[in-house]
Structure 1
Amino acid sequence: MERSVADAAAALGVAESRVRQLLQSGRLRGRKLGSIWLIDSGEIERAKRENGVPGRPLAPRIAAGVLDLLDGGAAPWLNRADRSRARVHARQLAGADARRWRAALRKRHERILCLAHPAALPRLAAAAQVVRAGPVAAAAAGADVVAVGAALEVYVPEAIWSDLARRLAIRQDVGFQAANLVVRVPVDVWPFADEAEARPGLAMLAADLLDSGEPRALSAGAQALNGLAGRLPASRRVRA
């Protein structure tokens, strides 16, 4: 059974504008008939389950620090006190399910669903400072996920994204079904080394899988993050 935006908003306890945002971002899946969105009842129930996790998100710099520490980095953008806090958060999240991990890390970047001409995709991927991401990269890094027909996913610094989007005629904020490109713009900090071919670590790629509505991707993301959190060096374990 399909339901309206108003019905979904009432079921989720949010404003109708928030439901439309979720639909546009792909976090809530529906189909559009003209200007009207229709959402399957099962999809609304899934969203209720996934969005029902309490807990405030970590500040973007701390969230990025948690992932860098899990990947064996030193989160150099954090001072000593904030780095210690990030380690505490990493240990507290060990063993959490996908919903709790996503709730904690969701502010680390802006995720933009885009539509680009096929010829523009390799140009974007090859641009300076653009970092490849997505399920393909996650699988290569060791996540237990199969990437078939996945859209191109990249990280782009905020300072260059607007110009890149303009030059390549990339449409932003399209619906989930129309998107062939996912752009992630980190907030507050660029968490990659300043090198020609920077690559995200497993923790960051696993965290990105948590944005998916696919159960296998959610499970793979949480499994990878919990495995890394459980293997933090003993010298870095900090009690909350």
Structure 2
Amino acid sequence: MLSVTEAARQTGLSTRRVRALIAGGALRATKVGAAYAIDERDLDNFVRHERPAYIRALSPRIAWAAAALLDGVQPTWLRAEERSRLRSRLASAGTSRGTWQAWTARLAQTRMTFKASPAQVEAVMAASSTVRSGRSASNLVTDPLVGAVSAAVWTHTLDDVDHLRRTLGLLRSSAGNVTISVPPPFGLPALGADGRNAFRLVVAHDLLTENDPRTVYAGTALLAAITTTEGFKS
């Protein structure tokens, strides 16, 4: 169970706003004496369903900095005081899936889908300009979901996407089996810690946006593993 203060920290809302949401019936809570206790599952459901109205997404540069810190990489694109504030925020963020999905909603500037053959899928994942994410990542905490018929990758720029499209003969399709995402252009030096996969928070975000239950389970497990680590707090 969470206090109002803990729920406020996890959602980025003020304690006054949390109490108002409880009073208005938008957020379930149990009265314990003079205080309120909030079940983590209720908070998670609230954030996932009400996020557009109440929870503000992190800016792309802050969201990517959070992803870097959680994988032990210094986000050099932030000022020292910004890094310090972000570490403090992450230290009290909790593990609510809904909160993290809300915060990372603006990771991508663009997502494109393409129709590709198995050989083209392999070529996309092997390209030097891409890192794997979602089901294609190999840094999952559960069994890898890598399949020969689909790919989810990130590149630095739209020019990288255009080069892949022209070189590999990829065809745009709303029901394509290759998804290529691009972050906003703020000078992000790296998309992941190991050069092969995107930062794990990015991988988890991409897993959680899919409808397949096994994929969502993998995203939930990965997110739990990331957000309970202590390394980034030092």
| CA deviation after TM superposition for structure 1 residue 94, in Å | 1.8
Deviations 1:196-224 (A, max 9, x none): x4433433322221211233433432332
Q: Is 1:202 paired with 2:197?
A: no
What SS class does the counterpart of residue 52 from structure 1 fall into? helix
Distance 1:57 1:84 in 2: 19
Change in Cα spacing, 1:194 to 1:147, as seen in structure 2 (3 Å) is closer
Q: Contact 1:71 / 1:201 at 8 angstroms: preserved in 2?
A: yes
Instruction: Output the CA distance in 2 between the equivalents of 1:219 and 1:229.
Output: 15
Partner of 1:60: 60
Identity %: 26
Structure 1 stretch displaced more, 75-84 or 140-149: 140-149
Letter aligned with residue 200 of structure 2 = L
Please tell me whether the aligned partners of residues 154 and 198 of structure 2 are also in contact (alpha carbons under 8 angstroms): no
The equivalences for 1:202-221 within 5 A come to: 202-221=200-219
Q: What is the TM-score normalised by the length of structure 1?
A: 0.63
Q: Distance in 1 between matches of 2:118 and 2:214?
A: 27
**Alpha-carbon displacement from aligned partner over 1:136-157 (angstroms, at most 9, x marks no partner):** 42xx424235627462111112
Q: 1:183 aligns with which of 180, 191, 194?
A: 180
TM-score norm. by structure 2 comes to 0.65
> Which of 224, 228, 231 lines up with 1:230 in the alignment?
228
Are 1:115 and 1:180, in contact at CA under 8 Å, matched by a contact in 2? Answer: yes
State yes or no: 1:123 paired with 2:123: yes
- For 1:185 and 1:191, how far apart are their aligned partners in 2? 12
Count of matched residue pairs:
182
| Distance in 1, Cα, partners of 2:232 & 2:76 | 20
Shift of 1:61: 0.9
Q: 1:111 to 1:100 in 2, by over 3 A?
A: farther
C-alpha distance in 1, partners of 2:230/2:183? 24
Whole-angstrom CA distance in 1 between matches of 2:82 and 2:143 = 32
Match of 2:99 in 1: 100
Q: Summarize the Cα distance change of 1:144–1:129 in structure 2 as closer, same or farther, 3 Å threshold.
A: same
Q: Which residue does 2:7 correspond to in 1?
A: none
Corresponding residue of 2:42: none
Shift of 1:80: 1.0
Counterpart amino acid of residue 139 in structure 2? A
- Per the alignment, residue 22 of structure 2 pairs with none
Residues 49 and 76 of structure 1: is their aligned pair in 2 closer, same or farther, counting only changes over 3 Å?
Answer: closer
Unaligned runs of 5+ in 1: 1-47
Whether the aligned pair in 2 keeps the contact of 1:64 and 1:191 (CA below 8 Å) is: no
After TM superposition, the runs of 4+ consecutive aligned structure 1 residues lying more than 4 A away are 48-51
Hey, what's the Cα distance between the residues in 2 that align with 1:198 and 1:117?
21
What's the offset of the Cα at 1:55? 0.7
1:98-123, CA deviations, whole angstroms, 9 ceiling, x for partnerless residues?
x3211110111133222124443233
**Partners of 1:208 and 1:234 in 2: CA distance:** 21
Q: Secondary structure at the match of 2:123?
A: helix
219 and 81 in structure 1: CA distance in 2 versus 1, 3 angstrom threshold: farther
Could you say which residue in structure 2 is the equivalent of 1:168? 168
Q: Which runs of 5+ in 2 are unaligned?
A: 1-45
Determine helix, strand or coil for the equivalent of 1:93.
coil
**Counterpart secondary structure, 1:111:** strand
Q: Tell me: CA distance 1:94–1:55, structure 2 relative to 1, closer, same or farther (3 Å).
A: same
- Identify the structure with bigger relative contact order (alpha carbons < 8 Å, sequence gap 6+): 1
User: Is the partner of 2:164 in helix, strand or coil?
Assistant: helix
